Amino acid sequence: MTGAMADEPGGVGVLTEPVNDGPGSGGEPLLELRSLTSGYGDLPAIRDVSLTLHDGEVVALFGANGAGKSTTLCAAVGVLPTMNGEVLWIGERRPKSLSALARNGLAFVPEGRSVISGLSVLDNLRLGSGGVDGALVYFPELEKLLSRPAGLLSGGEQQMLSLGRALATKPRALLADEVSLGLAPIIVDRLFGAIRQASIESGMGVLLVEQQPRRALAIADRWYLLRNGQMVGDGPASDASLLDESYLPSAPATPPEPRPTKKESHQ
Ligand code: ATP
């Protein structure tokens, strides 16, 4: 690992350079999707999707609205069926249920803030198997909010609660869907910093579904790009040039040639 973390109030650093250079540290992937097709009812929403996630790496999964990012995560954890291909969890076919996966070290943070609004922050944390202190290590900001109903927290605080509860379980892999949705950049950096910190400290692998490439690439090692349910690119975070060209199709890489005027075109 070559990354460096700068000190920040609250005990959580901000990544200043990428941590891993390549696709994991070798060895067997934590999670592997092999030519996976999945979807809703009889209709596939993703087709032939392959990806790997190794110990200690942060992998970003990008794509426009409706590209199939959430479907990929849900299929990876078994919330959606495998129509074709396979999902391997540490080399073996994935256990049948999400709870079995959780017992095997996989934490899943779905889109939206998965907090129980009527319960206090403390009780929300107590419901997680990682306990209260384990979450406060990553988000000490939650300590003064412990008695507050989770439904009264700000969006960023709710996301800290969701993520803190997941990180407290010390998972081997974290799959998180649009952590940054609707949050201010400073909060997004705070959340991403905590994810990266946890990955560095524990060797946790992270698959991060995101729509904000720049911020996610600041903590990621690699990226994949989905379009219309199919994987159309991947690469190291240090080289997002391919991502720029294909993820932003409306922004051409080179300016278009000036069109000839009517007069010129007849010359
Ligand atoms: P977003 O960033 O907007 O959340 P996404 O990349 O996560 O998008 P998905 O939510 O995976 O995309 O959706 C992929 C495709 O599956 C879309 O065409 C979507 O309309 C469809 N889809 C999603 N959920 C369902 C559902 N419950 N039933 C049927 N089709 C669905």
Which architecture, in CATH terms, is 46-238?
Answer: 3-Layer(aba) Sandwich (3.40)
Phi-psi domain of 260 (left: phi exceeds 0; alpha: psi -120 through 50; beta: other): beta
Q: Which of 38, 47, 61, 70 to mutate to test the pocket of ligand 1 (most atoms within 8 A of CB)?
A: 70
From 33, 37, 40, 49, the mutation candidate for ligand 1 (largest count of ligand atoms within 8 A of CB) is: 40
pLDDT of the residue at 27: 75
Residue 247 pLDDT: 64
Residues 6+ apart with CB under 8 A from 127: 116, 119, 165
Which residues have any ligand 1 atom within 6 Å of their CB?
Answer: 40, 45, 63, 65-71, 211
For atom 14 of ligand 1, which residue has the closest CA? 68
Distance 203 CA to ligand 1 centre (A): 31
Q: What is the pLDDT of residue 245?
A: 66
**Predicted TM-score (pTM) of this structure:** 0.82
CA of 52 to the centre of ligand 1 (A): 22
Residues (pLDDT < 50) of the chain are 1-25, 249-267
> Over the stretch 105-128, which tens digit does the pLDDT of each residue have?
889 988 876 889 899 999 999 988
Residue 256: the pLDDT is 42
What is the pLDDT, as a whole number, of residue 35?
97
Nearest-angstrom CA–CA distance, 39 and 72 = 9
How confident is the model at residue 174, as a pLDDT?
95
DSSP calls for 1-33: ----EE--TTS--EE-S-S-SSSTTSSS-SEEE
Long-range contact set of residues 79-83: C-beta below 8 Å, sequence gap at least 24 = 80/38, 80/39, 80/40, 81/38, 82/36, 82/37, 82/38, 83/37, 83/38, 83/39, 83/44
Q: What is the pLDDT of residues 225-246, one digit of tens each?
A: 999 999 998 999 988 777 776 6
Q: Which residue's C-alpha comes closest to atom 27 of ligand 1?
A: 40
